[in-house]
Amino acid sequence: MTAGPVASVVVQSYHLTVRDLRNSLRQPSYVLAALIQPIAWLLLFGKLLGPLLEHGSADGSYLAFLTPGIVAMTAVFSSGWAGMGIVAEMEHGTLNRFLITPVPRGALVTGRLTQQAVVVLGQTLIVLAFGLALGARFSGGVLILVVFFACVLLGALSVAALSNALGLVTRRHQRVLSVGQFLLLPLAFLSEIFVPRDVMPGWMRAVATVNPVNWVVEVGREATRGDVGWAGVLDRTFALLALTAACAWLSAMAFRHYQRQV
């Protein structure tokens, strides 16, 4: 062995990530959906809800208000189907083939998650670019923007890890899809993605407070303000970190469960 265990995980994750990204790029329908969907959401929801809610953000433009919300929504939804990739890997026999090689088991998980992170990062940049072009402004400075990106990735990785766990346990595309939809749609709508907190009914506000998707949105909203409320941002960031760790642990458990069933 030439590399230490940690270096080996990093190197092999890199190879597996490159392979996943290359495979994704070869599927035009996937690429189109991943790029066009967030833009469509931004424009559709902007036009649909804009006239009703033209008071959301500091400068009064609904699109500016919506942009961080759509970033969070895109990240979470595109990660919600991550488990489909694991199921496809089982069906192709590639997962078992990888397991027979000396590749560190961790790299099989981190490779997939890194690929997801790269995709989400790309989607985030596209939504932000469109948002900026349509009038969104991020007045909070570079630091809060970086923290927002980190929170988007943490949210995406939590969901992706859970979806992977679901794929490993159920081994069915249909299950991954339906459970993902069942959980993510309500989480998206019970948040401040589309509407400001003050127009929500009381119970919905209570749900939004403990909704991780909303934590990402809240951090994003702070990035649009001139005066960033750092205390709240740090709370949300650490909460997302803890959630990601918990989901990663669940994912690792699911992986062990799969290996026992082979």
Partner 1 sequence: MSFDSLAIDVKDLTKIYPGAVRAVDGVSFTVQSGTVFGLLGPNGAGKSTIIKILTTLSRPGGGSVRVAGVDVVAEPGPARRMIGCVAQQSGVDPIATGRENLTLQGRLYGLGGRRLRTQVDDLLERFGLSEYADRPARACNGGMRRRLDVAMGLVHEPHVLFLDEPTTGLDPETRKELWAEIFGMAAVGITVVLSTHYLEEAEELADTLGILDRGKLVAMGTPAELKREMHGDALRVELVEPPGEARVRSALSCLEGVCDIVVAGSGLSARIDPGTATAPVVLAALESAGVRVVSLTLSPPTIDDVYSRHAGRLLCGMPEARR
In 159-170, which positions are buried (b, 16+ CB within 10 angstroms) versus exposed (e)? Answer: bbbbbbbbbbbb
For residue 136, the surrounding DSSP H or E stretch is: none
Rank residues 203 and 260 by Cβ distance to partner 1 and give the closer one: 260
Answer yes or no: are the C-beta atoms of 218 and 228 closer than 8 Å. Answer: no
From 12-20, 31-39, 173-181, 223-231, span contacting partner 1 (CB under 8 A):
12-20
**Residue that the structure tokens 């709240």 belong to:** 232
Q: How far is the CB of 157 from partner 1 (least distance, A)?
A: 23
Q: In angstroms, rounded to a whole number, what is the distance separating the alpha carbons of residues 134 and 64?
A: 8
Is 2 one of the binding residues for partner 1 (CB under 8 A)? yes
Which positions ≥6 away from 214 have C-beta within 8 Å? 190, 191, 192, 193, 208
Residue 43 or 88 with smaller CB distance to partner 1: 88
Contact between 262 and partner 1 by CB under 8 A: the answer reads yes
Q: Which residue from 96, 174, 178, 181 is in contact with partner 1, where contact means CB under 8 A?
A: 96
- 76, 107, 225, 238 from 231: Cα distances, Å: 24, 35, 14, 11
- Residues sharing a CB contact under 8 Å with residue 55, sequence separation 6 or more, in sequence order: 196
Is 12 a residue that touches partner 1 (CB under 8 A)? yes
**Is residue 126 within a helix (H) or strand (E), and if so which, with residue range?**
helix 105-133
Residue 22 interacts with partner 1 (CB under 8 A)?
yes
Q: Which stretch binds partner 1 (CB under 8 A): 96-104, 118-126, 175-183, 235-243?
A: 96-104
| Least distance in angstroms from the C-beta of 96 to partner 1 | 6
The site map against partner 1 for 27-46 (x = CB under 8 A) is x-------------------
Nearest-approach distance from CB 97 to partner 1, in angstroms? 3
Least distance CB 231 / partner 1 (angstroms): 46
Binding site for partner 1 (CB under 8 A): 1-3, 8, 12, 15-16, 19, 22-23, 26-27, 92-94, 96-103, 259-260, 262
